[in-house]
Structures are given as C-alpha cells and as structure tokens.
Amino acid sequence: MCRWRKVIVWAAAGCLSALITGTAALAAEITVASVAGPMPEVMGALVPMFEQASGHKVTIKFQGVPQIMNDLKEGADIDFLIAGEDVIGDLVKDGRIAADGSATVMRSRVAVAVRAGAPKPDISSADAFKAALMAAKSVAYSRGASGQHFATVIARLGLIDTLKPKTIIVQGKPVGEAVAAGEAEIGVQQLAELLPVPGIDLVGPLPGDLQKIIVYGAAVLAKAKEPAAAAALMKFLSSDAAVLVIKQKGMAPG
C-alpha cells in the first residue's frame, strides 16, 4: 500500500475511533429492528465496523413493517429502528420516538437489470422504457418498496393489462436472482438489492420522473434500554467511514 493510502486509512480509523470515544468502556448490547430490502447487505457490512470501533454488541433482525409494528405494540425490547421515513414519522407522532431521536440515514434508487450478457434495452426516457417493457417477454419485481413504486409506474405508463400476463412477482429472494436464472427478461428493484447479485447486468436507474428515491430513517426508541449506545450507532451511520460503505453498496447517505 503506498504511503498516501496508508495515511487515509489511518485517518479514517482515527476518525471512527474518535466518533465512538468513551462508549467502549461501557459496552452495551443493542437490539435493532430493521426493514429488509437492501438493509441485510448494507447493515451486514456496517454493523461489524461499529461493533469493532465501539465495543458494543448489535443484535439485528430484518422484518417486514407489519411485524416490526406488531413487536413494538407488544412491547418488544428494541433500542434502534431502521425503516422508511413514513414509518419513522408515524412513530415520532405516536411518541414512540423522541422528536430529536431520528434522522435520515440512507437514500436508495430503483433500477433495472437484465441477465448477464443479454442485450440492454433503452431506458433513457419514459417512452423508451415503456417500449422496452412492452417488448420484454417477462418482467419481474417484488412486493417491497421498489415493487410498490413500480406498480404505480406500470399504471402511469398505461401498461397494467399489457404486463399482467408476463409479470413475475418475486418473493423470498432478490429479483436479480430470478433474472440471473432466466426466469425473467427484465428485473426492477432497488439498485442496492441488484448490485450484489451475480449473473446480471445493470441497465440503469428508472428514467426521469419515473424514478423514486426511497428514503430510510433511523431512530432511537423512546423506551430504549440502551439509549446512549443506540445514539452512538445513529451517529456512526453518518460518519465518513459508514458513508463510504453506503455508497459502495449502491445507496446514498442521508
């Protein structure tokens, strides 16, 4: 490693350690509830970094919003939450999160993929994307945040009836895996969910105003048992070290 790269690595490590200074001496166990989507991939990389820097232990569970809300209703021990901004906002209104206990941490775009080596369709404009969808033999998406948005795109483009017989709703695995296996010609999902899937080629993000930026927030629960450690995790997610990973995973920082 050349000298200037070593300096950058040492500086980043120093900044990360300084960020968590004082918390390692009082190591805590933090329970995190998170929506799924790209979060297993992104938080799977960030959590070990935070644990190493802080000395805290993080237990994270990835669930759907209904299950998370049910757990909160039943009084589950949750210190920290990662979810869509609308969910976070509702919980702030309900008093489950302090007004200053939440922040936007990541932003995600919706993208299009095809099987590796297949011709990439033109999706440079709404009209071009519509034509590509009409020409495709099959189109796959999920029931998650990206899929819910894509359903509105289909309606907006007037393609509900056209795509109905060739639509594949993917459940239990990334949409990219269905595309890689040849089950679908075109796949639509969050960029961060498509990136780690082998056997596919990214075509690009949804064009123009057909795009939707999916915003993820994080929050320290009002009844958190480890509020200080949870607050440290919140701070870490906006650190330079975390932002670098967030970008590498195909997302943008908050």
Average pLDDT, the chain: 91
Judged against a pLDDT cut of 70, whether residue 174 lies above it is answered with: yes
For the domain that residue 46 is a member of, what is the CATH number? Answer: 3.40.190.10
Residue 60: strand pairing partners: 32
Residues 58 and 134 in one domain: no
Which tens digit of pLDDT belongs to each residue from 92-149? 999 999 778 999 999 999 999 999 999 999 999 999 999 999 999 999 999 999 999 9
- State how far the Cα of 231 lies from the Cα of 229, in Å rounded to an integer: 5
Q: Are residues 99 and 121 in the same domain?
A: no
Cα 88 from Cα 103, distance rounded (Å): 9
Q: Are residues 248 and 168 in the same domain?
A: no
Do residues 75 and 130 share a domain? no
Q: What is the pLDDT of residues 25-84, one digit of tens each?
A: 578 999 999 999 999 999 999 999 999 999 999 999 999 999 999 999 999 999 999 999
pLDDT in the model for residue 5: 39
51, 76: one domain: yes
- Same domain flag for 102 and 223: yes
Residues 141 and 20 occupy one common structural domain: no
Block residue for tokens 């695995």: 173
Q: What are phi and psi of 23, to 5 degrees?
A: -85, -30
Domain count, the chain: 2
Q: What is the structure's pLDDT at 214?
A: 97
Q: How confident is the model at residue 183 (pLDDT cuts 50, 70, 90)?
A: very high
Tell me, yes or no, whether 203 and 218 share the same domain: no
User: Same domain, yes or no, for 203 and 116?
Assistant: yes
> 145: domain range?
110-210
Which pLDDT score, from 0 to 100, does residue 16 have?
54
Do residue 177 and residue 219 come from a single domain? no
Chain centroid, CA 112 distance in Å: 16
More confident position, 21 or 180: 180
For residues 33 and 122, state if they share a domain. Answer: no
DSSP-derived secondary structure for 36-60: -TTHHHHHHHHHHHHHHHH--EEEE
Give strand pairing partners of 113: 187, 202
Residues 103 and 220 in one domain: yes
* pLDDT score, position 25: 52
